[in-house]
Structure formats: C-alpha cells, structure tokens
Amino acid sequence: MLGRVSVFDDLVGQDSVVDQLRGAVRGAGHLLAGGAGEGMTHAWLFTGPPGSGRAEAARAFAAALQCPESPDTGCGRCGSCHQVLAGTHPDVLYVRPSGLSFGVDKTRELVLRAASRPTGGRFRVVLFEDADRATEAASNALLKAVEEPSPRTVWLLCTPTAEDLLVTIRSRCRLVTLRTPPTGAVVDLLVNRHGVDPGQAAEAARAAAGNVERARQLATDPAARERRAEVLGIPARLDGTGACVAAAARLYELAEAEAKATTAGLDDQERSDLKAAFGEGSTGKGVAKAVRGAAGALKDLEEQQKRRATRIKRDTYDLALMDLAAFYRDVLAVQVGARVELSTAAHRADLQRVASASTPESTLRRIDAVMACRARIAANVHPQIAMEAMTAALYQG
C-alpha cells in the first residue's frame, strides 16, 4: 500500500469514473467554502458488474470527500483517509447487508442516523453496499431521505445495475457506471499491490474475467483455486445419470463446507459475546433475571446467523455456476473459432474434448441450463434439486 498518492489509485481501469469523482470532490470543496459546488450532489449510485469495484469506488469517493489534507483527490495517507478506508470513520455510515435482504426497520434507523450533522465538519456519508438487497418497503423508506437529505449528508448506493433499484430511487441519484476492468489492469494490480508472481496473476485475472475481488481471491487463496478446478472438472466427468447426481451432491457439499468454514468460528464468538453481555457466568444480585432475558436475544441472533449462512451458500453456488457458465462460454468460443481470451484456458484438454463432442447449439442449451439453475436457486428451490436438474441437462446437452 506504499506510494499511494490518491485514494483513487486502488480503482483498476476506471479512468473516466475517477475523473468524474475527482470533479465531484472539487465541487464539494467549493460547497464547503460557501460556493455553488458544481459537480457535486447529495446522492450517488455506483453500478458496475460484480467485482468491478463498486464498493471500492464509493469508499474512495467517501475518503476523498472527508480528506482535509488534499481536498481534490484524497491523499490516502492522512488519518481521515485511513479511517474511511478501514471502515472506522465517525462520519461515514457503512451499511453492508449480511442477510439475503435488508428490511424496512433497519432502513428507518439508518435514515434517522443519516440525518445528523457531521462531527468533523465536512460531510456525513452513508455508504450502502448491495443496495439492491433492500426490500421494496425498505426502498420506499429511503426515498425521502435520498431526495432531500440534510445539507451535509451524502448518500452513496452500490448495485450491480441501475435497474436493480426502484425507479424512484434511481431517478434521485447521479449515476457512476464502472466498467469491467481489462485483464491487464487486474494483473498489474495483483503484481504490484499483492506481490503475486506475474504468471499466476495473469491466470487468476483471466479466470476471474474482470472480477477484481475474485481475481484477488484466486491469486492468493489456494483453496479457492482448488474449488474452482473441481467445479471446472465437472463437465468432463458427466458420463451418466449417476455421475450427475454425484456432481450435484459434490457442489452441494462444497457450498455447505464453505458456509460452515466461514461462519462456524464467527457464530460461536458472537453467541458467547452475547451471553457475556447478558451476564452469563457472573454472580450477584439480579444476574439470574438478566440471563433469563438472554434467551430471546440469542434466538434472534441465531436467526440472523442462519440468514447469513444462507447468503454465503447462495454466493458459493453462484460462484460455482458462473465458473461453469464460463467453461461453456469458452467451449462455444472454441467451437465457433472465436479469437477471444479464454477464462478457463487452464482446462484446455477438457474444453477441446467437450467442444468436439457437441454442437454449438447444445453448448447454448447447456449455458441456458446453468442460468436456469441460478434463477431456481434464487427462487428458493432446494439447491441440490436445482443442481441435479442442471447436471442432468448438461449431460443430455
């Protein structure tokens, strides 16, 4: 992280967005000085494909808005910038829904907190990641706050596409559209920032197909690489209906294991923290009564944890399904002889085999099957059933 001269340095291959945001930060400076504040506004919507760095862009923008040192770019070195980037700045409210959706109660609370004046005298920024997870009622509760916030409040919403939000919210925001970062820029980032060796960085960047976060994970986490290799090995192994069932069961197991690995330690920690907060294990007058009250809170916590686990599982399925879709996209590219970058080039033998054994039509049908499976899992179909239907369709072609 050394040698940073601006908080915007972390945005990979997003030059036009950086220009737009810099202009806005300059405008914000004028606004604070009592000027018209041209280029700045109170509500922003960051959109872009997964992994293009929506949240990073919003965070960098927030840091630049709060930075007292270098008011037009955000220095990235002062205390304020560090606080914003680390998620501890007192005037930046971070909202990151951990469950499948974000409800209206939490939204109302958020609106209330967003209305207070900034403590540091610059801006009060609300950074709402995955704003598309807000329910319809929650979105409606946001409307008024986003349209006419208190003078120094700035809303930064992040969604994959502008269509994911209510049209009434969309029309109240200025749009910041990030593009899929080019592979070269992602490789540079991995090599320069994370010290990954260039060969591995290139492979990870290709595999992630523009998803910076995924590229970082693939480049730095061997377990993630293994899981991806296992998923990509599925198409070549589908030689019968029995194998279809086994492959679906394996995908299911992988997701369960992933969710468990991520949440197990966290769940226990949270539970014992909550119990401690209610005074379990201590002695004295009134403790028994307080501990009794913990049961309800504990139940709420477990409910939340379950929702979080569901979301992690869904995200894991989604990752696996996107890898599969990428594989068949590459199969199609091989079949029609397109000269494009193959994101699953490492599995060339499988690609060639599947490509020569099927027609482009059946490849398209297979991609459809993968997408149908994603839609089904999102519609709450039991993941194993959805994936069995998918592997069977992949097998049939």
Partner 1 sequence: MSSASAPPPLSVVVGDEELLVDRAVAELVAAARAEEPGVDVHDLMPGQVTAGKLVEVTSPSLFGERRVVVLRGVQDLGKDLAAEVTGYLTAPVDDVMLVLVHAGGAKGKALLDAAVKAGAARINCAKPTKSGERLQFLKGEFSRAGRQVTADAAQALLDAVGTDLRELAAACTQLVADTEGRIDAAAVARYHTGKAEVTGFTVADRTVEGRIPEALEQLRWCLAVGTAPVLINSALAGAVRGLAVVAQPQRGVPETELAKAAKVPPWKLKTLRQQARGWTPKGVARAMAVVAETDALIKGAGRDPAYALERAVIEIAGARNQR
**Binding-site ranges for partner 1 (CB under 8 A):** 239-246, 249, 373, 376, 379-382, 384-386, 388-390, 392-393, 395-396
* 147 vs 230 by CB, closer to partner 1: 230
Query: Smallest distance from the beta carbon of 49 to partner 1, in angstroms?
Result: 26
Query: Smallest distance from the beta carbon of 70 to partner 1, in angstroms?
Result: 52
* 58 vs 386 by CB, closer to partner 1: 386
* 252 vs 278 by CB, closer to partner 1: 252
* 294 vs 385 by CB, closer to partner 1: 385
* 64 vs 386 by CB, closer to partner 1: 386
Place of tokens 């397109």: 338
* 312 vs 390 by CB, closer to partner 1: 390
Report the alpha-carbon distance of residue 162 to residue 157 in Å, rounded.
Answer: 10
Collect all residues with Cβ–Cβ distance below 8 Å to 309 and sequence separation of at least 6. Answer: 259, 260, 263
Place of tokens 């409800």: 103
Query: Smallest distance from the beta carbon of 361 to partner 1, in angstroms?
Result: 17
Contacts of residues 203-209 at CB distance under 8 Å and 24 or more positions apart, as own/partner, are 203/345, 203/346, 206/341, 206/342, 206/343, 206/345, 207/326, 207/343, 207/344, 207/346, 208/51, 208/343, 209/180, 209/326, 209/343
First and final C-alpha spacing in the chain: 48
* 26 vs 311 by CB, closer to partner 1: 311
3-state DSSP assignment of residue 301: helix
* 119 vs 380 by CB, closer to partner 1: 380
Query: Smallest distance from the beta carbon of 42 to partner 1, in angstroms?
Result: 38
348: Cα within 13 Å, side-chain hemisphere:
4
Query: Smallest distance from the beta carbon of 382 to partner 1, in angstroms?
Result: 6
Helices and strands per DSSP (H, E), number in the chain = 16, 5
Query: Smallest distance from the beta carbon of 383 to partner 1, in angstroms?
Result: 10
Query: Smallest distance from the beta carbon of 307 to partner 1, in angstroms?
Result: 17
> Does residue 70 contact residue 283 with C-beta atoms inside 8 Å?
no
Residues across the chain: 397
Indicate the residue type of 370: V
3-state DSSP assignment of residue 46: strand
Query: Smallest distance from the beta carbon of 242 to partner 1, in angstroms?
Result: 4
